[in-house]
Structure 1
Amino acid sequence: MLQTALSDFVSLIFPHTCLACQQPLARGETHICTGCRTQLPYTDYHRLSPTDNPLLRRFWGRVPVHYALSYLRFLRRGRVQHLLHQLKYQGQREVGSALGLMYGQELADSELVTGIDLIVPVPLHPRKLAKRGYNQSDSFAEGLAQSLQVPWSATGLHRTSYTVSQTRKTRAERWENVADVFGVSKPDTVQGQHVLVVDDVLTTGATLEACAIKLLDAGAAKVSIATIACADR
């Protein structure tokens, strides 16, 4: 009772707020309030067959991705954009881990994730990592790994060169920008494994395609993809 009362008092003085709408969280709510959870634009792609999955179709004829999933639809000026802005530019790493935990809990009962051996986030270049202080995809990977009870590695992939922002580039320009900038740090750790590559947002898919190719070339048996959000093409 004393601990509960103390917790309520601390929450009153320093209230925890929803990561999506910034309103105070009610007792029992964590990270994202119930109202926002009911209104987030979920894709539910994990409930579709591979042939009906529009995200997976983006990779057809480009790289043999086993499956491609995204938790939310990216809508400009909406809750998802705010969450991603908090994650990438406001130092709110818990956004990624919270969404990873939530998504992982949904995926845990899906046959799609059966057999995942390793989760690997898309890496940042050391220069950008030093500037930001963290890789936003790491926290998403960590949350997913915790829910799915699968190991993850922040160093499974690395960037071999610095690239400029992908924003405002065409698909061809994005591919040219990232085609040869990734490497597999320790090929023996991915050989024969089903690797899940994760990132914050999927737009054209060029970055994830480049990562998948490198992992398959290094001997990965299968590569699948999961992101926090996906943008319409």
Structure 2
Amino acid sequence: MQFLKDIFYVFYPNLCINCEIALLQNEKFLCTFCKNDLPIIDDNEHINVTLMSTFYGRVPIEDVRSFLYYQKDGITQKIIHQLKYKNQPQIGGFIGEWFGYNLVEANVFKGIDYIVPVPLHPKKQRKRGYNQVTLFGETLSKILGVEYKSNVLIRYSTTKTQTLKQRFERFSDSKTKFKLANTTIFENKHVLLIDDVITTGATIEACANELLKTKNITISVATMAYTQKA
């Protein structure tokens, strides 16, 4: 069987998402060189304050962590693009595993009770076939020992692609709406809200405001990537 796998690999090699060279059999998604070039966000006070500042004065967030810096035409953008649009949901698990063990090592999110994904609209999820944060969240769930809770926070409207909007339009978008199916399940609980990328924080803010309809809820945020937009 291994011989057949080796023959198949010769003719149909997996390629690095970033540089597109053939991966070795012990490599996943990225070659060793590109993996070492990933712009991983350091866990330090200055960076954590910067991440938190996205939500200052807008919505009460207990803590925020993000794994990678996201820049236009950078390696992180290529990874997220493959994850969302090229039918590679497994990339979410790859990121979640690496990020999850980093969080454990940094002793972060010790008091979390549930992990909740930012949902896709059902029509978009049917078209794509998956929510890009599902495997990310499920992997974090296993590593952190916290229950993953989907289908409680529901998205029930469609919007234009966020990247096509100006910053003001993102902040003032009233069409993106979320509904909490059960306002008691998270009572007195600490919820970790997860998404792929933080840009303006508008989507996470909208989700958090819906979650805050729950009595005595605490909300933290974890994402695959973070970018600052002018």
Partner of 2:224: 228
Partner of 1:38: 36
Match of 2:118 among 113, 118, 122: 122
Task: Say whether the 8 Å CA contact 1:171–1:204 is kept in structure 2.
Answer: yes
Task: Say whether the 8 Å CA contact 2:48–2:65 is kept in structure 1.
Answer: no
Matches within 5 A, 1:179-194: 181-194=177-190
Query: Structure 1 length as normaliser, TM-score?
Result: 0.88
Matches within 5 A, 1:213-224: 213-219=209-215, 221-224=217-220
Note the C-alpha offset of 1:151. Answer: 1.6
Change (3 A) 1:48 1:166: same
Q: Measure, in 1, the Cα distance between the counterparts of 2:33 and 2:24.
A: 11
Indicate the larger mover: 99-108 or 165-174. 165-174
**Which whole-Å deviations, capped at 9, do the CAs of 1:37-66 have from their partners, x for residues lacking one?**
21011112xx22378520111111111101
Q: Measure, in 2, the Cα distance between the counterparts of 1:179 and 1:116.
A: 30
Partner of 2:147: 151
**Which whole-Å deviations, capped at 9, do the CAs of 1:86-131 have from their partners, x for residues lacking one?**
1111111111111111111111122321011111111111111122
Q: Measure, in 1, the Cα distance between the counterparts of 2:157 and 2:108.
A: 33
Q: Measure, in 2, the Cα distance between the counterparts of 1:184 and 1:50.
A: 33
Q: SS of 2:133's equivalent?
A: helix
Task: Say whether the 8 Å CA contact 2:158–2:175 is kept in structure 1.
Answer: no
Runs of 5+ unmatched residues, structure 2: none
In structure 2, what residue type is equivalent to 1:101?
Answer: E
Change (3 A) 1:97 1:119: same
Matched, 1:210 2:217: no
Indicate the larger mover: 85-94 or 28-37. 28-37
Q: Measure, in 2, the Cα distance between the counterparts of 1:149 and 1:175.
A: 34
Partner of 1:137: 133
- Report the number of matched residues: 229
Change (3 A) 1:115 1:130: same
Matched, 1:15 2:10: no
Indicate the larger mover: 157-166 or 198-207. 157-166
Task: Say whether the 8 Å CA contact 2:187–2:214 is kept in structure 1.
Answer: yes
**Percent of pairs with identical residues:** 38
| Cα RMSD for the two superposed structures | 2.2
**Which whole-Å deviations, capped at 9, do the CAs of 1:55-87 have from their partners, x for residues lacking one?**
111111111101111111111112111111111
In structure 2, what residue type is equivalent to 1:105?
Answer: Y
Partner of 2:197: 201
Partner of 1:73: 69
Q: Measure, in 1, the Cα distance between the counterparts of 2:135 and 2:19.
A: 20
Change (3 A) 1:76 1:171: closer
Matches within 5 A, 1:96-107: 96-107=92-103
